[in-house]
Amino acid sequence: MKRASLHTLGCRLNQAETAVLTARLRRDGYRIVEFGELTDLLVVNTCSVTEEAERTCRYVIRKTLKHSPDAFVAVTGCYAQTGVQELRTIPGIDLIVGNQFKGDLPSFLPAPHSLKKQPDPEVLHTRTIDREDFILPEYGDPDSTRALLKIQDGCNVMCSFCLIPFARGRERSRLQDDVIQEAEILVAGGYRELVLTGVNIGQYRQDALDLVGLIARLERIEGLERIRISSIEPTTITNTLIDRMASSSKLCPYLHIPLQSGDDSILSSMNRPYSVKEFTLLIQRAMAAIPHLGLGTDIMVGFPGETEEAFEHTLDIARALPFSYFHVFTYSQRPGTAGAKLPNQVPAAVARSRAKTLTELSRLKRLAFAERYIGSILSVLFESGHLDGFSSGTTANFLRVNVPSSLDLTNQLKDVQITGTSDRWALGKLTPERHPLRIVPML
């Protein structure tokens, strides 16, 4: 049996798509091996959000060809879409598949027994990507306790630092029946939490059904315990969604809402469609309706024109708003984006020090969020594996919790009393089922 190794860079959507490719290659008779093991086929699902991501893609190929020099190398994903000319020049690549054909990549591979290196890569690429709503050619083989469910693709926003609209095309939604069918299969397969992924999922629209309507259909699936929204743009969060999250017994009280900057002039040159005030009002509305909301965000530092004063504005809002953590990104100039043409590029050392300051603040925010729950009883969905005698899992509002346990708690929902914190997770101890002290039914 031929071996296949898949490596994914970038976002949850890429991970969800790799799960689909994995299922298909398994069905085509490949044995899936861990990345780094000897292989006959390497599939790299790439990212082009930053220059670093593209560099890592090239490194992954070189590394694999060192131990498996005859491996057939197929490259797909956003770098294959936006960097096809560059990838053509990278030694060792045999097939380049743009995002239009990503889902069908296995159909473009030679038969397993006739995999062999090519003198030049075969290229399947279109400049633009179809706009139609879609179904998935295959359902995924998730490799984590929280199954990723792709519901949407593409983005029309055109933020001036972002390549994704060029890599993934215009907004489009997955047919609702196709989403429900895969969700039912995943739940029948034992998954208790589904994470809705896409690029701009708040723009989900299928016939008259929007994101809240889709969630209502998912909530009716027996055995599904949690529905989590991965990341959602601030301008797409409606009062209806907030109300649904406040009253639902399945929709997790968790929102990851990219802020990017706390300075209005930077937001405007980023082409982000909201002001700091509007973002703040949204957060206040959400927190008022959902007191235990887990709130994450993305913040970018070093965007052209970001003065010390503008950065101070970002620090102020990051401190003031009740974030439970934030992901910090350093601006990476992307060819073809409006940002790449902007003057006043920020020196790398300055951007790095700003990123360091924000990362430290995020650590303190995460700690403060965990400390809020010391003494409380929370429901935790445990993931596979043990770390130094600890089992790990997350609450519905995305607090990571570790408990000392020798039991295999994989994919189990357990009540845990929070006893302490570290700056990366809360510590707890298992308590008897359905403990009366548990905080609100959903947590």
Q: If binding is defined by CB under 6 A, does position 237 make contact with ligand SF4?
A: no
Exposure of 47 by Cβ count < 10 A (0-12 exposed, 13-18 middle, 19+ buried)? Answer: buried
Q: If binding is defined by CB under 6 A, does position 13 make contact with ligand SF4?
A: no
- Quick one: DSSP state of residue 343? S
Q: If binding is defined by CB under 6 A, does position 361 make contact with ligand SF4?
A: no
> Most distant CA pair in the chain: distance in Å?
67
- Which of these segments, 130-138, 161-169, 333-341, 384-392, binds ligand SF4 (CB under 6 A)? 161-169
Let me know: does 195 contact 187? Beta carbons within 8 Å. Answer: no
Q: Which of 14, 81, 152, 200 binds ligand SF4 (CB under 6 A)?
A: 200
CB of 260 to ligand SF4, least distance (A): 8
* Residue for token pair 């003198």: 119
Q: How many other C-beta atoms lie within 10 A of the C-beta of residue 1?
A: 8
Q: Which of 199, 227, 251, 370 binds ligand SF4 (CB under 6 A)?
A: 199
d(CA 6, CA 149): 19
The smaller minimum CB distance to ligand SF4, of residues 184 and 298, is found at 298
d(CA 38, CA 391): 31
The smaller minimum CB distance to ligand SF4, of residues 110 and 273, is found at 273
d(CA 152, CA 137): 14
d(CA 325, CA 239): 23
CB of 82 to ligand SF4, least distance (A): 13
Q: If binding is defined by CB under 6 A, does position 328 make contact with ligand SF4?
A: no
Q: If binding is defined by CB under 6 A, does position 155 make contact with ligand SF4?
A: yes
Q: If binding is defined by CB under 6 A, does position 233 make contact with ligand SF4?
A: yes
Amino acid at 84: V
- Quick one: DSSP state of residue 341? G
Q: Which of 43, 159, 187, 293 binds ligand SF4 (CB under 6 A)?
A: 159
The smaller minimum CB distance to ligand SF4, of residues 170 and 372, is found at 170
d(CA 198, CA 174): 10
d(CA 318, CA 257): 13
Q: If binding is defined by CB under 6 A, does position 257 make contact with ligand SF4?
A: no
- Which of these segments, 152-160, 186-194, 351-359, 413-421, binds ligand SF4 (CB under 6 A)? 152-160
Residues 165-184 within binding reach of ligand SF4 (CB under 6 A): 165
d(CA 393, CA 381): 5
Q: If binding is defined by CB under 6 A, does position 295 make contact with ligand SF4?
A: no
Closest CA to 219 of 188, 190, 244: 244
Let me know: does 98 contact 112? Beta carbons within 8 Å. Answer: no
Q: Which of 23, 33, 157, 361 binds ligand SF4 (CB under 6 A)?
A: 157
For ligand SF4, how many residues bind (rule: CB under 6 A)?
Answer: 10
Q: If binding is defined by CB under 6 A, does position 162 make contact with ligand SF4?
A: yes
Q: If binding is defined by CB under 6 A, does position 230 make contact with ligand SF4?
A: no
Distances (CA, A) of 183 to 66, 193, 237, 442: 39, 10, 23, 20
The smaller minimum CB distance to ligand SF4, of residues 52 and 312, is found at 52
CB of 273 to ligand SF4, least distance (A): 9
- The residues of the shown chain that bind ligand SF4, judged by CB under 6 A, are 155, 157-159, 162, 164-165, 199-200, 233
